[in-house]
Amino acid sequence: MLQTTLNINLNIKIEQYNKLRSLLKRKGEGYKPKKTRTFTSEQIHSLIMQAPGEPYLATKVALIMGIMRACRAQERHNMQIEDLKDLNDNT
């Protein structure tokens, strides 16, 4: 990633710098990226069924939309309360 970033932003190709490349390789040894935590299906089911409706309604809607892949990840990230419309509104 560092190599690509330097190449794109500063037009520096680190292939020419052998000592730098070996240093980066040594520093990167033993690095383990953090694993993304995900919900289990039991956790999702208990949230949808047991969480009170009013305070967690937006969370439930976003969760269901994410599971059903109703929109892209960036769309979910940018989603706001104003974007949701309650079709069961009797007022």
Residues 46 and 19 in one domain: no
Is-contact 64 44, C-beta < 8 A?
A: no
pLDDT at 67: 82
CA distance 13 to 5: 10
- Residue 39: closest CA among 11, 14, 60: 60
The 10s digit of each residue's pLDDT in 51-84 is: 887 888 878 888 888 888 777 888 878 877 777 7
pLDDT at 61: 81
Is-contact 43 60, C-beta < 8 A?
A: no
The 10s digit of each residue's pLDDT in 18-51 is: 888 888 888 888 888 888 888 888 988 888 899 8
Structural domain count, the chain: 2
- Asked whether residue 58 is assigned to any structural domain, the reply reads yes
Residues 21 and 45 in one domain: no
pTM as predicted: 0.45
Residue 24 tokens read as 């980066």
Tell me the residue range of the domain where 69 lies. 41-83
